[in-house]
């Protein structure tokens, strides 16, 4: 999403607000963009910085080719400063360094922009230093804060920012965008159900690990129906080695959840909502094996397992317990 027009296709409300402010030359001294991962926070911050510095802007749209636009896109503009967490948090020294940088005259103009990614991860001391910075705004300075957790930012900072929410794409929007990028309809349906992040979805389409993960889900379902006595051994020997860390195992559970949701769709006559359309016959066989009540109970067990996985629960034990609950 390199232009305001492209961004408007997925974030119409937020984009319209920003375009109006740029056209009316009423850019705020501080913005707080919040939304889930993949909703376009970085894209908005880059576009806003370009719109501020572009030398060949047409209306609200930066040219994307001038010296300023090119350097902002590459992260190398001397008057656009980026702050990201240093380890697990954004520290006071990072904000102090930013303030020191802003005491100097701009290298090429008096305009300055700073972008703070994961702003909710500021320590208390860092947040208090930033607050003092925001309390004395300069007309030549624009702060851009990005976060997935708006409530993790102290009220006094939020009150000094123009807060703009970025909404997650719905599945139909996501699917259409993925198909326009050349991803097959079948894969686009699955990726749209798994993530709201276009970049993540495109990466999954090229990922051999993910293709094997999907195959393992189908194999586990088959074993549970036809060779249930082998299911636990399969978990130990094939499933756990492939889903080797907690993040991968969460994705494996998500894939299982989608399979059982498809079963619910068939149970209630909503075939058009299927995600695993390429495995429709197998899902239909699953419906013959697990009743609607069985399927609902398994779904609850899976959601419980996903929560436990975020705690200090041994992943293999968790999967073995879930497998036993999936067996009839």
Indicate whether 265 pLDDT > 80. Answer: yes
Indicate whether 2 pLDDT > 80. Answer: no
Three-state SS for 125? helix
Q: What is the pLDDT of residue 88?
A: 86
pTM: 0.67
Of 50, 40, 52, the closest CA to residue 70 belongs to 50
Question: H/E element holding 147?
Answer: strand 141-147
Q: What does 33-48 look like in DSSP terms, one character per residue?
A: EE-STTSSHHHHHHHH
Q: What is the pLDDT of residue 150?
A: 92
On the CB side of 28, CA atoms within 13 Å amount to 19
Residue 200 and residue 192: Cα distance in Å, rounded? 10
Sorted by where each begins, the domain ranges of the chain are: 4-165, 207-326
Indicate whether 138 pLDDT > 90. Answer: no
**Residue bearing tokens 């990028």:** 181
Judge: domain 4-165, CATH 3.40.50.12780.
Answer: no
Q: Say which residue, 261 or 167, is predicted with more confidence.
A: 261
Residue 283 and residue 289: Cα distance in Å, rounded? 10
Q: Say which residue, 22 or 310, is predicted with more confidence.
A: 22
CATH no. of 207-326: 1.20.272
Q: Say which residue, 39 or 269, is predicted with more confidence.
A: 269
Contact call for residues 231 and 224 (beta carbons, < 8 A): yes
The model's pLDDT over 57-75, given as tens digits with 9 standing for 90+, comes to 888 899 999 999 999 999 9
Q: Say which residue, 146 or 11, is predicted with more confidence.
A: 146
Q: What is the pLDDT of residue 318?
A: 95
Token pair of 297, please? 């109970």
118 falls in which pLDDT band (50, 70, 90)?
very high
The model's pLDDT over 211-240, given as tens digits with 9 standing for 90+, comes to 999 999 999 999 999 999 999 999 999 999
Q: What is the pLDDT of residue 168?
A: 79
Q: What is the pLDDT of the chain when averaged over all its residues? A: 91
What percentage of the chain carries pLDDT values higher than 70?
Answer: 98
């Amino acid at each position: 999403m390199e232009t305001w027009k492209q961004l408007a296709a997925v974030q119409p409300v937020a984009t319209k607000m920003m375009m109006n402010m740029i056209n009316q030359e009423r850019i705020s001294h501080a913005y707080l963009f919040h939304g889930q991962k993949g909703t376009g926070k970085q894209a908005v911050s880059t576009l806003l910085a370009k719109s501020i510095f572009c030398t060949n802007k047409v209306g609200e749209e930066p040219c994307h080719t001038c010296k300023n636009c090119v350097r902002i896109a590459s992260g190398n503009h001397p008057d656009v400063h980026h702050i990201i967490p240093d380890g697990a948090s954004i520290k006071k020294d990072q904000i102090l360094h930013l303030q020191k940088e802003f005491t100097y005259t701009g290298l090429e103009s008096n305009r300055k922009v700073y972008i703070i990614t994961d702003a909710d991860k500021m320590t208390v001391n860092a947040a208090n230093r930033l607050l003092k910075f925001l309390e004395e705004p300069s007309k030549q300075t624009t702060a851009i804060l990005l976060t997935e957790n708006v409530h993790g930012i102290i009220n006094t900072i939020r009150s000094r920012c123009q807060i703009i929410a970025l909404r997650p794409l719905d599945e139909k929007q996501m699917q259409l965008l993925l198909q326009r990028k050349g991803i097959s309809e079948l894969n686009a349906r699955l990726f749209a159900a798994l993530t709201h992040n276009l970049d993540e979805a495109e990466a999954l389409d090229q990922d051999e690990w993910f293709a094997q993960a999907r195959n393992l889900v189908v194999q586990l379902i088959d074993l549970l129906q036809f060779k249930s006595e082998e299911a636990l051994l399969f978990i130990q020997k094939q499933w756990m080695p492939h889903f080797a860390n907690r993040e991968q195992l969460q994705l494996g559970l998500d894939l299982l959840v989608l399979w059982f949701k498809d079963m619910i769709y068939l149970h209630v006559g909503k075939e058009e909502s299927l995600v695993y359309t390429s495995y429709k016959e197998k899902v239909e066989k699953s419906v013959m094996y697990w009743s609607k009540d069985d399927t609902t109970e398994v779904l609850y067990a899976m959601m419980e397992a996903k929560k436990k996985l975020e705690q200090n629960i041994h992943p293999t034990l968790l999967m073995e317990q879930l497998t036993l609950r999936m067996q009839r």
